[in-house]
Amino acid sequence: MNKKHNFSAGPSILPQEVFRQAADAVLDFNGSGLSILEVSHRSKDFVAVMEEARALSLDLMGLTGQGYQALFLQGGASMEFLRIPYNFMGMQGKAAYLDTGTWAAAAIKEAKVFGHTEIIASSKESNYNFIPKDYTIPADADYFHCTSNNTIFGTQMKSFPDSPVPMVCDMSSDIFSRQIDFSKFDLIYAGAQKNMGPAGVTLVVVKEDALGETGRKIPSILDYKQHIDKESMYNTPSVFAVYTSLLTLRWLNENGGIGAMEQRNNAKAELLYNEIDRNPLFTGTAATEDRSLMNATFVLNDIAHTENFDKMWKEAGISGLTGHRSVGGYRASMYNAMPIESVQVLVDVMKRLEITG
C-alpha cells in the first residue's frame, strides 16, 4: 500500500493505527466472531463503546462533572443547524450569529426559518478572509452562535467572547486540536470527519441546564433532552462511525491529549506558514492574525507556475491540496493525525518550485 500525504479538508486523515483497528473490527469485533457492522447497538460490547466515547469526549475537554452531556448523533453539522434553533430559540425570541464563512452562513440560513436571527458581525464583504472582532452580543438574544474554524477560508477564532447569553459553537473543523476553556459554551458540536472520526456521526456536547427553555414542541429526533435521556441511543446510532471515533479519541488520549495535539499542530502550522511567507512564489489568503492551525490557504503569485506545482506535489505523494472554489489556489489541511513529516514534504516541494520554477 502506497500511503498518501492526505491534506484533504474532510473527510480527512485519521491515525494509521485507527485504520488498522477499524478494519480488524469489520472482520471481528472484540473477538466476538461478529463484524462490528452486524452487532446489535444494544449489545453489551457496543453499549460499552458508546459510554466510553461519551465519557472520554467530556474528559478530554475537561468537562467531566460540570453538568455537560456528550452525544453521538447523525446528520452532520447541517442537522445541528436545525436542532439548535429548535432547542434554543424561544417562540418570540431571537438569535445572534457571527458570520465568518460558508458554514456559518448556512447555519444562519436555517436559524432564519425559525425566527428573528441577527448577524452581529460578518466578514463576507472581504470573502471571509478575517474574523470580525468588534461586535457586541445582544443581551436579549436567546443564544450566540459562532464557528471556531472556517475550513474553506483558513481562518480560526483565536479567542472567544464572554457572552452574556448561552454560547453555541460549531467546532467541526478544529475540535480537540487546541486547548480552549470549553466550559464557556452551552453547546459545542462537531461533524466527526475532520479531527475525530469518519463521516456519519456528530459529537454534541451540551450543558443540560441550558435545555428546555424555549416553549417549543420539539420533534423527538431533534430534541437534545430525548437523546440525553436515551443515553445517545434514542434510535440506532451510526455504530461503526462511533466505534472509529472512539478509536481516534483513545489515540488522542494516549498521545498526550489536547495539549500535546496543540503543540504538534502549532509546529506543523509554523513550518508551513513560514514557508508561505518566505517563498516569493506564494501568498497566504487569510489575515495573518486569524490564520487557522488546521487549514492553511494560499495562492501562487503567478498562475503560470500552476502546472508545474500541481505536477510536483502529486508526484511527491500529496493529495487533497486543491483549494475550495470559493477561494481558489491551495488549501493544506493539517488535522491532528497528520504527521509533521507530511507537512515537510509539502514545504520541500514549495522550495523546489522556487528553484526550478
Q: Which residues bind a copy of itself (CB under 8 A)?
A: 1-4, 6, 8-14, 19-20, 22-24, 26-28, 32-35, 37-41, 74-79, 81-82, 106, 109-110, 113, 191, 193, 197-201, 217, 219-222, 234-241, 244, 317, 319-320
- Please identify which residue in the block is written with the cell numbers 466527526: 192
| Active site annotation includes 28 | no
Count of Cβ atoms closer than 10 Å to residue 150 Cβ: 28
**Which residue do the cell numbers 510536483 mark?**
312
Minimum gap (Å) between residue 338 Cβ and a copy of itself: 10
Closer residue to a copy of itself (CB): 49 or 137: 49
Residue found under cell 472520554 = 56
| Contact criterion met (CB below 8 Å) for 242 and 318 | no
Question: 125 vs 315, which CB is nearer to a copy of itself?
Answer: 315
Cis peptide, bond prior to residue 198, ω within 30 of zero:
no
Q: Which of 99, 142, 170, 290 is catalytic?
A: 170
Instruction: Judge residue 348's burial from the number of C-beta atoms within 10 Å of its C-beta, 0-12 exposed, 13-18 middle, 19 or more buried.
Output: middle
Residue whose C-alpha cell is 495573518: 288
Catalytic residue of the set 99, 103, 174, 186: 103
Cell of 245: 471515533
Q: How far is the CB of 67 from a copy of itself (least distance, A)?
A: 27
Q: Residue 143 has what DSSP assignment?
A: E
- Which residue number, 12 or 57, has a Cβ lying nearer to a copy of itself? 12
CA distance 20 to 26: 10
Q: Smaller CB distance to a copy of itself: residue 101 or 132?
A: 101
Q: Residue 202 or residue 265: which is nearer to a copy of itself going by CB?
A: 202
* Annotated catalytic residue within 194, 223, 268, 313: 194
Element (H, E) at 352: helix 340-356
Name the one residue in this structure whose C-alpha cell is 454534541. Answer: 204
Active site residue 194: yes
Determine the Cα–Cα distance for residues 33 and 36; give it in Å rounded to an integer.
Answer: 10
- Which residues are catalytically annotated? 103, 170, 194
